[in-house]
Amino acid sequence: MRKHNLSLTYDPKIKAVLSGECTQTMRVGNRFSVGDQVSFHGWEGKPYHSKWSFRTPYFTVKEVINGQIYPWGLCLSSKYEHRWDCHKTDEIAKLDGIVPPTGVELGKVLNRLNKIPDTGAWMQIIRW
């Protein structure tokens, strides 16, 4: 079990996580496991150059879904690709606190917050 302190910079998600409405985040990389502890924090000003504005208690990770992220969508197993404009990415967007809760908006947010190469990157959906 590892402890992770993760920042949140997407305003609608911050409110949803703090209220307990959102219990999912998506992260590029492959470092989370079921049983890990995650805590979230925000920034008073410029990210990484200011004090934390809030910090949540630690939550226990209950589910981790591994996959790959591409500029055009997600691949959550070797068999299934989900473009940003499909019902599966709409479901993921809703659970992730995206406003409006659509896969298309999820794709815009993830592409804006991460530099996703055309060749894709490993990613995880983390649920607590």
Encode pLDDT of 56-111 as tens digits: 999 999 999 999 999 999 999 767 899 999 999 999 999 999 999 999 999 999 99
How confident is the model at residue 102, as a pLDDT? Answer: 98
This prediction has a pTM of: 0.91
Confidence of residue 36 (pLDDT cuts 50, 70, 90): very high
Q: What CATH number is attached to the domain comprising 76?
A: 2.30.130.30
**DSSP-derived pairing of the beta strands 37-43 and 3-7:** parallel
What mean pLDDT do residues 24-50 have? Answer: 95
How confident is the model at residue 79, as a pLDDT? Answer: 74
Confidence of residue 119 (pLDDT cuts 50, 70, 90): very high
- Calpha distance 97→53 (Å, rounded): 19
Half-sphere exposure of 31 (CA within 13 A, CB side): 10
What is the average pLDDT value for the chain, to the nearest integer? Answer: 95
CA angle 16, 75, 38 (to 5 degrees): 35
Provide the residue range defining the domain that includes 29. 3-127
Q: For the chain, what is the domain count?
A: 1
Task: Evaluate whether 101 touches 37 at the Cβ level (below 8 Å).
Answer: no
How confident is the model at residue 19, as a pLDDT? Answer: 96
